[in-house]
Structure 1
Amino acid sequence: MTSQSWRVYGYSALITIYLCSVVFFSMNSSPHPNQKNGNVERFAEFANFRNTRFRGFTSRTNIRWCNGLKYLKTDVSSHMITTVPTPQSTIKVMPIDESKNNAEYQITGLTALASFPGSGNTWLRYLLQQATGILTGSVYKDYGLLKTGFPAENVRNNSVLLVKTHEFGPKAWEPFTKVILLVRDPEKAILAEFNRQSGGHIGFAAPDRYKRTKGKYWQQFVLKSLKMWEATNLSWARDFTGSIKVVFYEDLVGNLESTLRGILNFLEFPIDENLLSCTLLRREGVFRRKKRFLNFDPFTASLRAMIREKKLAVYKYLESLK
């Protein structure tokens, strides 16, 4: 009887120790909402969520702006008009003429910055904010971008230089009188968007995601994205009734100064040569995804042939508009 009692006590003690260990390790492995070094992640497929840290960026991200960022002068309600000061750690690489107050410049109408996701929209917004000192808006509210250089997320009026959108169709066009259509090679844009959905704005998809469900998941993603890439570009190019400027991502990479000048002229925004020079020196910023080479080709021969066919047809039409 005594031995049975000791056996019961022994089992009880082991179970108690086990349960305490589980609770202890769970508390220490689960990051607290206010924990500075915690890496909280909700849904792997979505890059935008409320949290103190965002995939692809860190809380220490500090952009060196060429000048303080401002909204444009406008007649929208005063609570929308604020000044975003340049961080104290910013070091100007050359003298900036502070007497030029581009915030007094007022844009007539509203300009869209339209593109298929993964085409370099965020990078171009960064470049334009550097070159003008004026904030850019968006039809979305990306919390990662909101905290890392784009405080005018979800602002869509003429207090901003232009408004980012990936939408198309009559309702999407309605607010705009102009559009800058940013176009990128579909193969690279699709890869960039796949990486963004899995790894945030500057992260990468894990190699095994391409092989998920024996490659069917990736193949379906490519086919769906290619259809959307074609529809986005041709819809704006053919059916939008306002002024349009087509900008190829490859031109931004290969001939940045000339391309930026063309965009600013299209916006009818006065070019500040000092700000433009500063922008060229800081062209990379933190919003361009670094190159990564996979040890396999994610595109099959049939997928690549389909992409090439669509690209040739769309580029041919877009080139006729330039």
Structure 2
Amino acid sequence: MALQGWRFFGVSATIIIYIGGVLFLSMNNIPGSHPKRPRIERFAEFPSFHSPRFPMPSRKMTIRWCRDLKYINRDLPIYADYKSDFYTALPSDVSAALQSLPALTALASFPGSGNTWLRYLLQQATGILTGSIYKDYGLLKTGFPAENVCNSSVLLVKTHEWGSKAWAPFSKAILLVRDPEKAIIAEFNRQSGGHIGFASPDRYKRTKGKYWQQFVSNKLKGWEMMNLSWARNFTGSIKVVFYDDLVHHTERELRSILDFLQFPINEQLMRCAIMRKEGIFRRKKRLLSFDPYTEAMRAEVQNRRRIVYGLLGRQEP
């Protein structure tokens, strides 16, 4: 009798465990019963890259070029993966050959000053590719296939660097200057939201606003050093272009830039460029519900702007 009782108990326990297991598995398969897995942001070099933090133009926003883009000289070697000191990174014979090429032109600017938009306008107005010392994968895939091309096969080369190494490869330069108050916010937006996105309001209030205040302080110094370094110390020919003039007098400024580059103007392409001047890389305006600049911050920004603009020959109103 005792043995039969133990057998009955064992069978009952097995059945209960089995039923419990089935119920447990069933509950775990109910939709919504699992916590959401964290989203993994992929690097931009992969085709599947997508992140809401860094929005890029969609396929519906494909750039319509006035003419198929091309290199000035396809026979020149195209090198990648080097930055502001790229000539010293190349073999000596190649480095010397590239430096001997005429009129390699820099498009120098502090970040957030409209460099990408001006490159877009020039590519529309000339049909010639523009290069960069950087390799921005977002730009590489959306209209700037000559990213990281740094020789005279392109119309000009983008750079945000300054100093003797930065300007050594160039014999000419276009310095694009923007109001620091707007340039700093544009760069803050780019670092937080990509080329056309925005920083969330909470980003300005991070660490009780100290993060934003330090960002402004650091970038304002960089803005001043970048612009004065190129304007005062670059020994080649230089043309200063103010972003506000480019916005309000786009055709006049484009003609002046092409004249400086000694590039013939195609009137049909110029009309097309002006008609399509907005493009997809000008960040749309967004009004914040608060002023990110304190009175002290704005006073310092305006003071630095007045000094730098004066040295660049632009009179403040």
Question: Quick check: TM above 0.5?
Answer: yes
> Residues 320, 248 of structure 1: CA spacing in aligned structure 2 closer, same or farther, 3 A cutoff?
closer
Q: Report deviation, 1:53.
A: 4.4
Q: Kindly provide the CA deviation profile for residues 156-206 of structure 1, in whole angstroms up to 9, marking residues without a partner as x.
A: 000000000001111111110011000000010011011111111011111
* Contact 1:135 1:161 survives alignment (8 Å): yes
Q: Which residue of 1 aligns with 2:70?
A: 70
Q: Kindly provide the CA deviation profile for residues 282-301 of structure 1, in whole angstroms up to 9, marking residues without a partner as x.
A: 11011100000000111111
Q: Distance in 2 between matches of 1:271 and 1:279?
A: 12
> Residues 190, 6 of structure 1: CA spacing in aligned structure 2 closer, same or farther, 3 A cutoff?
farther
> Residues 49, 302 of structure 1: CA spacing in aligned structure 2 closer, same or farther, 3 A cutoff?
farther
* Contact 2:125 2:270 survives alignment (8 Å): yes
C-alpha RMSD of the superposition:
2.7
For structure 1, list consecutive stretches of 5 or more residues without a partner in the other structure. Answer: 32-39, 81-106
* Contact 1:76 1:159 survives alignment (8 Å): yes
Q: Distance in 1 between matches of 2:190 and 2:161?
A: 18
Q: Report deviation, 1:219.
A: 1.0
Greater mean alpha carbon deviation, residues 264-273 or residues 1-10: 1-10
Superposed counterparts of 1:230-269, under 5 Å: 230-269=224-263
Q: Report deviation, 1:108.
A: 2.6
Matched, 1:278 2:298: no
Amino acid corresponding to residue 151 of structure 2 in structure 1 = N
Q: Which residue of 2 aligns with 1:308?
A: 302
Matched, 1:16 2:25: yes
Greater mean alpha carbon deviation, residues 196-205 or residues 4-13: 4-13
Structure 2 counterpart SS, 1:314:
helix
Q: Distance in 2 between matches of 1:8 and 1:231?
A: 74
Q: Report deviation, 1:57.
A: 1.8
Q: Distance in 1 between matches of 2:243 and 2:16?
A: 73
Q: Distance in 2 between matches of 1:255 and 1:139?
A: 28
Superposed counterparts of 1:28-43, under 5 Å: 41-42=41-42
For structure 2, list consecutive stretches of 5 or more residues without a partner in the other structure. Answer: 1-8, 80-100
Q: Distance in 2 between matches of 1:141 and 1:162?
A: 15
Q: Which residue of 2 aligns with 1:145?
A: 139
Amino acid corresponding to residue 319 of structure 1 in structure 2 = G
* Contact 2:27 2:33 survives alignment (8 Å): no
Amino acid corresponding to residue 213 of structure 2 in structure 1 = Q
> Residues 203, 15 of structure 1: CA spacing in aligned structure 2 closer, same or farther, 3 A cutoff?
same
From 67, 81, 102, the counterpart of 1:108: 102
Q: Which residue of 2 aligns with 1:59?
A: 59
From 201, 212, 220, the counterpart of 1:218: 212
Q: Report deviation, 1:25.
A: 6.0
Amino acid corresponding to residue 309 of structure 1 in structure 2 = N
Amino acid corresponding to residue 127 of structure 1 in structure 2 = L
Structure 1 counterpart SS, 2:61:
coil
Q: Distance in 1 between matches of 2:145 and 2:192?
A: 24
Q: Distance in 2 between matches of 1:217 and 1:17?
A: 49
Structure 1 counterpart SS, 2:240:
strand
Q: Which residue of 2 aligns with 1:91?
A: none
Structure 2 counterpart SS, 1:113:
strand
> Residues 127, 19 of structure 1: CA spacing in aligned structure 2 closer, same or farther, 3 A cutoff?
same
Q: Which residue of 1 aligns with 2:284?
A: 290
* Contact 2:42 2:48 survives alignment (8 Å): no
Q: Report deviation, 1:217.
A: 1.1
Structure 2 counterpart SS, 1:16:
helix
Q: Report deviation, 1:50.
A: 3.7
Amino acid corresponding to residue 218 of structure 2 in structure 1 = K
* Contact 1:56 1:199 survives alignment (8 Å): no
Q: Distance in 2 between matches of 1:172 and 1:71?
A: 23
* Number of equivalenced pairs: 281
Higher-Rg member (1/2): 2
Matched, 1:133 2:142: no
> Residues 148, 29 of structure 1: CA spacing in aligned structure 2 closer, same or farther, 3 A cutoff?
farther
Q: Kindly provide the CA deviation profile for residues 248-272 of structure 1, in whole angstroms up to 9, marking residues without a partner as x.
A: 0000011111111110000000011
